[in-house]
């Protein structure tokens, strides 16, 4: 029961999580006292994860950035002095103008999903950089291989409605620690389990989710496509196929059949490092249970063959006709189903005739160190970072840090806290949190649009990202009317007439009118309208048009210098590098840890709790050993993602990860990383 002097404000969780929860913030005397899940939003069900339940702790954290600051110490030392907004923005505008006068492409915006909001993400910011003609950022760091895999198979980021997983009789949770990073799906899976569904977790790590499934298949990292192809082999051999669905709604069956027959379970067992019987059992379960549903997540696509792996898995539902049921099929991302008006929101027309180069955010380590050249264009002279912490999260940190430390690089960072990236800023600008600004959200794990209203006034002198770019545009003399539009206008523009804004204002969310079983009668959004086992566009590019298993580039060699594979999934109470400085959450995670199997630890005389050195040719990272069977033999798990400055030797796991890209989608290969581990004397 709320007291009469309390108000409740509806919002949306802004974090990079498929659940996009509806929030209710309780405010008393202008202070947010509680953040809870909105009980009226069916998918949130009044429940939030531990991370966002502590949102007031994060919002009122004593380390919140409260006013603009200017660097006074050496690059990267994190020494700043307070300045006024006017001084900061006047100087930033002058610096950007001078660089842009030579070549606007020497300016690079760098952003990702620090907020998933369409307004405080790439709304006003995109307009500003389009007007400037800055380089464009290829936003690949999380999901682009999987996106490409899905596009090349199903035709878009489309799939099952998450609520209907409750009706499945078999659920494969593939490459996802749902309890940690997709909690509201997990609640639905539990409901299915109570109704008799079998849950199988496919993940190299024995996660909290794996603990609670009926079966865990602990395959080697980067071998998911081999497993999927072997499942197809068994479906064919035992004729557990929906021939009618295949004939009506797929493309390239004869070719896929031939490919799959090259993958008997014995071959896949060897590659994946799992028992043959486990593959055979999974195939039988999948081939003989309806409805069967797959919750795929992005963990498995962070390897060389990530795009192909998603393609291989995405073929499975069509083979057994799982799409016929609303409780069957697959879900990786639902975000392609939202009618976002990106042209209106981001205004690419402001570019005019210009077509600035695209810089891949996953290779920022190399690209910051690249000189001007005819191929590359101008060296990057200015970097404006918002909604991202690349010094901690981008691969091959040593190079990223070296780039950020360039004396001739002008860096502006919009942030809530003094992160590793903020330490390298020339200007550090305080941004508002989700409790302090307007925004509107799509989701990638459900199909509801959510509106976020500000619950409290900005803390200190913090400003919304949108307002910072509005003011900067003004300082730069950009007088286009769209650069002055306010946030509520942008919220309305994001979906235009496609979503009823009054509904959003009234209840905080609106569901998209979509069919319950989207591909029961085919109609995939591919050029052929079919599920494309064989993709003609890939063939036209001279690529293999069928899904294939591409081994990791960094296969651990038991007799070589790097005998262990390392994966680096997020710790349960962190979300990428967000929340690591929220004391109640970092206490739960204790300290940077490396999970290592008892056999691998014993072979190296490593005891539980020892400080270890994890290393490869790119660098070394020190942390404590957690000797645990959560790690399978031959695979270590560097739980992320701590800020570098919290690490024992001032690094984190990305000191070890490389900048090689995925087979499709130009994504990073964080989990394709071979290392050695030793006890630190
Ligand atoms: S479960 Fe995900 S969407 Fe929901 S509050 Fe937590 S981080 Fe946000």
Quickly count: other Cβ atoms within 10 Å of residue 599's Cβ: 14
CA-to-CA distance for 529 and 322, rounded, in angstroms?
17
Q: Contact at 8 Å (CB) between 429 and 483?
A: no
> What are the structure tokens assigned to 279, written together?
């593959």
CA-to-CA distance for 192 and 228, rounded, in angstroms?
23
**Phi and psi torsions of 142, nearest 5°:** -115, -50
Q: In 3D, which of 576, 572, 643 has the Cα closest to residue 387?
A: 576
Q: In 3D, which of 663, 533, 670 has the Cα closest to residue 146?
A: 663
Residue 581 has pLDDT above 90, yes or no: no
CA-to-CA distance for 169 and 327, rounded, in angstroms?
8
Residue among 41, 44, 48 whose CB has most ligand 1 atoms within 8 A, to mutate: 48
Residue 227 has pLDDT above 60, yes or no: yes
Distance 20 CA to ligand 1 centre (A): 6
Quickly state the pLDDT bin for 575 (edges 50, 70, 90).
Answer: confident
Q: What was the pLDDT predicted at 118?
A: 98
Protein residue closest via CA to atom 6 of ligand 1 = 49
Quickly count: other Cβ atoms within 10 Å of residue 614's Cβ: 25
pTM: 0.96
Q: What was the pLDDT predicted at 2?
A: 62
Q: What are the tens digits of pLDDT across the range 108-137?
A: 999 998 899 999 999 999 999 999 999 999
Task: Between 681 and 99, name the one with better pLDDT.
Answer: 99
Q: What was the pLDDT predicted at 574?
A: 80
Secondary structure of 193-222 in HEC code, one letter for each residue: HHCCCEEEEECCCCCHHHHHCCEEECCCCC
> What are the structure tokens assigned to 383, written together?
């970097």
Mean pLDDT of 262-283: 98
> What are the structure tokens assigned to 273, written together?
């490092």
Query: Tokens 């969310």 identify what position?
Result: 509
> What are the structure tokens assigned to 485, written together?
């539009």
CA-to-CA distance for 550 and 595, rounded, in angstroms?
26
Q: What was the pLDDT predicted at 588?
A: 80
**Contact partners, residue 334, CB within 8 Å, separation at least 6:** 157, 158, 159, 161, 162, 443, 444, 445, 446, 447
Quickly state the pLDDT bin for 223 (edges 50, 70, 90).
Answer: very high
Mean pLDDT of the chain: 96
Q: Is the CB of 51 under 6 A from ligand 1?
A: yes
Q: Which H or E element spans position 147?
A: helix 144-151
Angle in degrees, CA 38, 417, 90, rounded to 5: 115
**Contact partners, residue 84, CB within 8 Å, separation at least 6:** 68
> What are the structure tokens assigned to 317, written together?
């539902």
Percentages helix, strand, coil for the chain (3-state, rounded to 5) are 35, 20, 45
Mean pLDDT of 660-672: 97
Mean pLDDT of 71-90: 97
Distance 13 CA to ligand 1 centre (A): 6
For residue 130, cis peptide bond before it (omega within 30 degrees of 0): no
Q: What was the pLDDT predicted at 586?
A: 77
Q: Is the CB of 179 under 6 A from ligand 1?
A: no
Residue 1 has pLDDT above 60, yes or no: no
Angle in degrees, CA 59, 400, 354, rounded to 5: 90
Residue among 12, 14, 17, 116 whose CB has most ligand 1 atoms within 8 A, to mutate: 17
Helix 224-237 to helix 306-320 angle (10° resolution) is: 20
Cα 603 to its chain centre, rounded Å, is 35
Return the percentage of the chain with pLDDT > 70, whole number: 100
Query: Tokens 């919009």 identify what position?
Result: 414
Radius of gyration in angstroms for the set of CA atoms belonging to the chain, rounded to a whole number: 25
Protein residue closest via CA to atom 4 of ligand 1 = 21
Query: How many residues are recorded in the chain?
Result: 681
Q: Is the CB of 392 under 6 A from ligand 1?
A: no
Q: In 3D, which of 65, 137, 77, 108 has the Cα closest to residue 409?
A: 108
Mean pLDDT of 359-369: 98
Return the percentage of the chain with pLDDT > 90, whole number: 94
Q: Contact at 8 Å (CB) between 119 and 490?
A: yes
Mean pLDDT of 49-57: 92
Q: What was the pLDDT predicted at 640?
A: 80
CA-to-CA distance for 109 and 263, rounded, in angstroms?
45
Q: What are the tens digits of pLDDT across the range 496-555?
A: 999 999 999 999 999 999 999 999 999 999 999 999 999 999 999 999 999 999 999 999
Please report, in angstroms and rounded to a whole number, the separation of the first and last CA atoms in the chain: 57
Q: What was the pLDDT predicted at 576?
A: 82
Residue 582 has pLDDT above 80, yes or no: no
Protein residue closest via CA to atom 3 of ligand 1 = 20
Q: In 3D, which of 136, 17, 38 has the Cα closest to residue 507?
A: 38
Protein residue closest via CA to atom 8 of ligand 1 = 13
Burial class (CB within 10 angstroms; exposed 0-12, middle 13-18, buried 19+) of 558? exposed
Q: Walk across the sheet containing 292-296 and list its strands.
A: 215-217, 198-202, 170-174, 292-296, 329-331
Helix 465-475 to helix 124-132 angle (10° resolution) is: 30
Residue 483 DSSP label: G
Burial class (CB within 10 angstroms; exposed 0-12, middle 13-18, buried 19+) of 628? middle
Biggest CA-to-CA distance, the chain? 72
Q: Is the CB of 12 under 6 A from ligand 1?
A: no
Query: Tokens 């009789």 identify what position?
Result: 169
Q: Contact at 8 Å (CB) between 592 and 570?
A: no
Residue 38 has pLDDT above 80, yes or no: yes
C-alpha dist (Å) from residue 370 to 374, 399, 425, 629: 12, 11, 20, 43
State the pairing for strand pair 292-296/170-174: parallel
Q: Is the CB of 49 under 6 A from ligand 1?
A: yes
Mean pLDDT of 68-88: 97
CA-to-CA distance for 133 and 348, rounded, in angstroms?
10
CA-to-CA distance for 511 and 496, rounded, in angstroms?
15
CA-to-CA distance for 156 and 425, rounded, in angstroms?
38
Query: Tokens 């949306």 identify what position?
Result: 12
Reading phi first (left if > 0) and then psi (alpha if -120 to 50, else beta), residue 32 is in beta
Q: What are the tens digits of pLDDT across the range 414-450?
A: 999 999 999 999 999 999 999 999 999 999 999 999 9
Cα 243 to its chain centre, rounded Å, is 36
Q: Is the CB of 362 under 6 A from ligand 1?
A: no
Q: What are the tens digits of pLDDT across the range 616-634?
A: 999 999 999 999 999 999 9
Distance 118 CA to ligand 1 centre (A): 17
Q: Is the CB of 181 under 6 A from ligand 1?
A: no
Reading phi first (left if > 0) and then psi (alpha if -120 to 50, else beta), residue 282 is in alpha
Residue 196 has pLDDT above 80, yes or no: yes
Q: Three-state DSSP class for 451?
A: strand
């Amino acid at each position: 029961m709320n007291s009469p002097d309390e108000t409740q404000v509806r919002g949306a969780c802004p974090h990079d999580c498929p659940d996009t929860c509806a929030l209710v913030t309780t405010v008393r005397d202008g202070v947010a006292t509680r953040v809870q899940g909105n009980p009226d939003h069916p998918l949130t069900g009044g429940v939030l994860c531990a991370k966002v339940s502590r949102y007031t702790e994060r919002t009122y954290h004593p380390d919140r950035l409260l006013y603009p600051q200017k660097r006074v110490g050496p690059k990267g030392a994190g020494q700043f002095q307070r300045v006024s907004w006017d001084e900061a923005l006047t100087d930033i505008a002058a610096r950007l103008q001078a660089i842009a006068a030579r070549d606007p492409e020497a300016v690079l915006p760098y952003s990702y999903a620090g907020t998933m909001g369409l307004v405080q993400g790439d709304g006003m910011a995109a307009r500003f950089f389009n007007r400037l003609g800055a380089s464009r950022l290829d936003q690949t760091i999380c999901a682009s291989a999987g996106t490409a895999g899905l596009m090349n198979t199903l035709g878009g980021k489309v799939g099952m409605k998450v609520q209907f997983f409750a009706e499945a009789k078999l659920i494969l949770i593939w490459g996802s620690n749902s309890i940690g990073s997709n909690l509201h799906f997990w609640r639905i899976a539990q409901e299915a389990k109570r109704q008799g569904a079998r849950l199988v977790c496919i993940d190299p790590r024995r996660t909290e989710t794996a603990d609670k499934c009926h079966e865990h298949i602990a395959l080697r990292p980067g071998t998911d496509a081999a497993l999927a192809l072997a499942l197809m082999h068994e479906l064919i051999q035992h004729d557990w196929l929906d021939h009618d669905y295949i004939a009506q709604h797929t493309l390239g069956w004869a070719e896929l059949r031939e490919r799959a027959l090259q993958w008997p379970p014995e071959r896949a067992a060897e590659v994946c490092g799992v028992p043959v019987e486990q593959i055979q059992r999974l195939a039988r379960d999948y081939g003989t249970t309806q409805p069967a549903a797959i919750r795929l997540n992005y963990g498995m696509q962070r390897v060389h063959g990530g795009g192909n792996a998603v393609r291989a898995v995405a073929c499975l539902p069509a083979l057994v006709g799982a799409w016929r049921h609303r409780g069957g099929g697959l879900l990786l991302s639902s975000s392609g189903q939202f009618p976002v008006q990106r042209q209106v929101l981001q205004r690419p027309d402001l570019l005019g005739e210009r077509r600035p180069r695209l810089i891949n955010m996953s290779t920022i380590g190399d690209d910051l160190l690249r000189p001007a050249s005819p191929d590359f264009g101008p060296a990057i002279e200015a970097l404006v970072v918002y909604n991202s912490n690349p010094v901690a999260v981008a691969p091959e940190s040593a190079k990223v840090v070296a780039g950020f430390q360039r004396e001739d690089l002008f860096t502006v960072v919009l942030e809530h806290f003094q992160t590793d990236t903020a330490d390298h800023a020339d200007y550090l600008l305080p941004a508002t949190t989700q409790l302090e600004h307007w925004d509107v959200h799509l989701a990638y794990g459900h199909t509801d649009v959510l509106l976020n209203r500000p619950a409290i006034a900005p803390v200190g002198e913090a400003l919304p990202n949108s307002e910072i770019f509005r003011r900067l545009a003004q300082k730069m003399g950009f007088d286009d009317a769209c650069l002055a539009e306010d946030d509520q206008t942008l919220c309305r523009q994001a979906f235009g007439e496609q979503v009823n804004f009054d509904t959003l204002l009234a209840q905080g969310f609106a569901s998209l009118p979509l069919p319950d079983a989207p591909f029961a009668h085919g109609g995939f959004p591919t050029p052929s309208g079919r599920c494309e086992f064989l993709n003609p566009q890939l063939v036209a590019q001279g690529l293999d048009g069928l899904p294939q298993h591409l081994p990791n580039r960094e296969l651990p060699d038991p007799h070589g210098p790097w005998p262990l594979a390392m994966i680096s999934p997020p710790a349960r109470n962190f979300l990428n590098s967000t929340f690591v400085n929220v004391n109640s959450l970092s206490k739960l995670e204790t300290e940077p840890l490396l999970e290592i199997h008892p056999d691998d630890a014993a072979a190296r005389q490593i005891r539980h709790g020892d400080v270890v050195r994890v290393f490869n040719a790119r660098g070394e990272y020190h942390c404590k050993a957690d000797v645990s069977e959560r790690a399978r033999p031959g695979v270590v798990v560097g739980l992320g993602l701590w800020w570098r400055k919290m690490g024992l030797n001032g690094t984190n796991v990305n000191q070890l990860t490389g900048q090689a890209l995925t087979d499709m989608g130009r994504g990073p290969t964080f989990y394709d990383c071979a290392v050695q581990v030793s006890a630190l004397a």
